[in-house]
Copies of this chain bind each other. A is one copy, B any other.
């Protein structure tokens, strides 16, 4: 009996997504809020409202699913950070914009930073993820070099290459960010602003 169920046609909220998309989003949510080490395939299946076996159907295994979540996160970071750098047009202002983006994310969307930290930790122990994450750091550093240092018409600053300085800036944000996340000291995000010393 081919009965038409009414709710199958009605676009119930977010039910427009395909099932593999729902799984991916659910995995992202679970890992962002509890960490990759504390998330099981069952957790993700439940969060997505989907049978457990569907995760393997679409992503083969846990590593395959996590890899896809990492790829999603990477493209999100690259897009957002490039957008925030593009908004301004002087090197100084761009640096300020980058810092502002980062501080803003830590305050209003800390899950995204937790995700980056978590997967970077995973990358330490797993070669599969190490190549993905090291590429992200390289691309972010290249982006900083391109948008902040290229207009300065110089290849060096105080004896250091712009490549090296970009890595330092990226590292400063990352390392300061984790401290902000761990310590709810209201004064701490100011350390991110202090990074601007590097451009004076």
Binding site for B on A (CB under 8 A): 34-38, 114, 117-118, 120-121, 123-125, 130, 133-134, 137-138, 141, 158, 160-161, 163-165, 167-168, 170-179, 181-183, 187-188, 190-191, 193-195, 197-198, 200
B residues in contact with A34, CB < 8 Å: 125
Could you tell me the distance in whole angstroms from the C-beta of A189 to the nearest C-beta in chain B? Answer: 9
Identify whether the interface residues of A are mostly helix, strand, loop, or mixed: helix
Q: In the docked arrangement, what's the CA distance between A161 and B118, Å? A: 30
B residues in contact with A190, CB < 8 Å: 160-161, 164
- Whether A138 lies near B175 (C-beta < 8 A) is no
Instruction: Knowing A125-B34, A171-B172, A175-B174 are in contact, say whether A194-B182 is a contact too (CB < 8 A).
Output: no
Q: In the docked arrangement, what's the CA distance between A34 and B165, Å? A: 31
Instruction: Knowing A117-B124, A133-B182 are in contact, say whether A167-B171 is a contact too (CB < 8 A).
Output: no
B residues in contact with A176, CB < 8 Å: 167-168, 171-172, 175
Instruction: Knowing A176-B167, A197-B160 are in contact, say whether A181-B124 is a contact too (CB < 8 A).
Output: yes
Q: In the docked arrangement, what's the CA distance between A184 and B24, Å? A: 31
B residues in contact with A163, CB < 8 Å: 187
Could you tell me the distance in whole angstroms from the C-beta of A174 to the nearest C-beta in chain B? Answer: 4
- Whether B183 lies near A179 (C-beta < 8 A) is no
B residues in contact with A178, CB < 8 Å: 120, 171, 174-175
